[in-house]
Amino acid sequence: MRDLLVLSGGHPYDEPAFAALLDSLDGWRVTHLLHPEAERLVGEGRAGEADGLLFYDMPGYTFADGRVETTPPSEGFRRAITARFAAGKGAVAMHHALAGWAEWPEWAELLGGRFLYQPGEVRGQEKPDSGYRHEVTYTAEVVCDHPVTAGLPATFPVTDEVYLAEVFAEDITPLIRARHAFVRENFYSAAAAVAGRMFDNAGWDHAPGNDCVAWVKPAGAAQLVYLQFGDGPETYANLAVRQILANALRFTAAS
């Protein structure tokens, strides 16, 4: 048995259904930490000890009264995560992890993109807030023969939340693409949702985005796999999603 450290917190999710997803992973002894305790324990060395690491967290935010406040990670957390990747130990990040640590630009560089809850600067350029759309049914298409996609059908159905977010296309190797139009008309404004206007894109503009929903990229001396899958129980139970998560954890632990 290998040790898998899972981090969550900062974003609501169906806890029993997510636990069932983790229980489906054969060969792993799972330790599940929630923020803010997760931040402290990672800083004390827990991430470096684990064979596998799964980010299903969205730390660094406080949402209240129609506003969002952000905080950076502790110096200990930053050092620990950086040291893990420098040592050749990789990780998998799922879904809303792409929005985590808004005040730590290196986090976006590690993951290969960034979801913005507010308009902001990404790689020196001003960008609008990102878009979201729940319960989108689409066909996922495998576009790369890779250990992470081993055993998957060429295409498979997914119903999940999708993002219109910043993706650093030049830095990633696409693994799976969504047959869905990643254009403004198909998404809602994240900033409007924070302000209390869910499912609203009035007055919001965003350039067409990247249709890649799973990718791999270097992170230090290791590999990181990002999976946009992961909004809720239907996705957790999707056998293809379970397969790609299991593959990704094996691949990144071995890298």
Residue 254 has a pLDDT of 66
How confident is the model over 26-80, as pLDDT tens digits? 999 999 999 999 999 999 999 999 999 999 999 999 998 888 999 999 999 999 9
How confident is the model over 83-138, as pLDDT tens digits? 999 999 999 999 999 999 999 999 999 999 999 999 999 999 999 999 999 999 99
DSSP SS3 for 76 = helix
Closest CA to 230 of 47, 93, 36, 62: 93
pLDDT(255) > 80 = no
Averaged pLDDT, 236-241: 98
Q: Distance between alpha carbon 54 and the CA centroid of its chain, in Å? A: 9
Helices (H), 50-182: 75-86, 105-111
> What is the Cα–Cα distance from 95 to 161, expressed in whole angstroms?
9
Residue 130 is given by DSSP the state: P
